[in-house]
Amino acid sequence: MNINNLSEFLKQSNCQFSVYDLGRKVCNISNSFFKEIELNQLPYPYPIQQHAFIALTFWQTDAQKEHFIWFLKMPLDEQGLLQIPAQISFIKMVVEALGEDLTADVSDKLQERMASNPFLFKPSTEKLAIFNAIMNARFIRPASSFYRGAQRYFSGSTSWKEWQELGIQGIADLTARLDHDNNQQNLINALPYLPQQPLQSLALCLEHQNKINPDLHQAIATQIRVELQENRQENAILLLRALASSPSIAITKKLIEEQFSSDLIHNVHWYVGIAGRLWTVLEDETLLNRFLESLANNQAALFPQLFTDIVAIPLLREKVLRQIRLPARSPALTEAIGRLFSGSQN
């Protein structure tokens, strides 16, 4: 089989497929966009440490068979392009292990051979729950058995103290169904009353959802300010991350601008959350400059790691590089950039 990219391989195997990034956020990558990535016409949009973390779900077009999933960790080159030799190696390993019928029943021994494939990875429990919830909602399949319990809890039908039986899968199912069962309004009503554990779990699931409406977005923003007033910084940071996929980006940017004047500038997790989940706000070059200045002045040891992370994101690369050429910058930022390019982080 002389095929050097994944979508052509799946097409030849009579399979339809869907692609999701599982690195920064769980988000769909259209098949047409993925084709350009495979052919090195575009860099991978969400790199982490020069790798693409991809969930590839596929199913046969001529039969009502179940969906199959590969969780792929594929290397990227210095330009952020998906390495074609790695794709070829993975395809060769799959054919050797499974043959050309990718959806056929296979023996335990063959499954073990696939499990040892170096291009496969195991997602975290949280990411797996969120991905499963999104897939079930997208393909109109039932939610898990945990959904109704989560729905009852966040609707206020039970005591706010009775959260111990909640599972991450049920919360993920609920956030993947924001437009069902009055879930969005229920969350607005619940936010001021949630104990720390369900609040944090909810926030971690919401960060992957792009159907957050303006009312829920505003309610989360209000709760973030409450958490900061009560000095619960970790709650505030996780709730900020919860807005990562929301379309109401102007509210998020206003929140972050406020937070530059708060104690969050001394919290490592705040910077990591913005770089890792909310990087789209850094398209605003004024906000990007404030972020880098604050990072250099308050968390200098973290500067090389986060600079390297965001400069690798294609959406930000040119804007980040422009920042290091600005003549007007603080001594701390000048020093941080100097250390970065001298190879010294001391």
Q: Is the pTM of this model over 0.95?
A: no
Taken as a whole, the chain contains a residue count of 346
- What's the CA gap between 247 and 209, in Å, rounded? 10
Rg of the chain in Å (alpha carbons): 22
Instruction: Pick the range with the lowest mean pLDDT from 37-51, 129-143, 233-247, 330-344.
Output: 330-344
Each residue's pLDDT tens digit, 54-67: 999 998 876 656 78
Bigger pLDDT: 142 vs 13? 142
Each residue's pLDDT tens digit, 101-110: 666 665 555 5
Residue 251 has pLDDT above 50, yes or no: yes
Average pLDDT estimate for 111-135: 88
Q: Which amino acid is at 218?
A: Q
DSSP reduced 3-state for 286: helix
Output the pLDDT for position 104: 62
Give burial (CB, 10 Å; 0-12/13-18/19+) of 67: middle
Output the pLDDT for position 2: 73
Helix spans in the chain (H): 6-12, 31-38, 84-98, 108-115, 125-138, 147-154, 168-176, 183-190, 196-206, 214-229, 233-241, 249-259, 268-277, 285-298, 303-311, 317-323, 331-342
- What's the CA gap between 103 and 57, in Å, rounded? 11
SS (H, E, C) 181-196: CCHHHHHHHHHHHCCH
Instruction: Pick the range with the lowest mean pLDDT from 15-24, 61-70, 194-203.
Output: 61-70
Classify residue 231 as left (phi > 0), alpha (psi -120 to 50) or beta. left
- What's the CA gap between 282 and 100, in Å, rounded? 44
- What's the CA gap between 174 and 197, in Å, rounded? 16
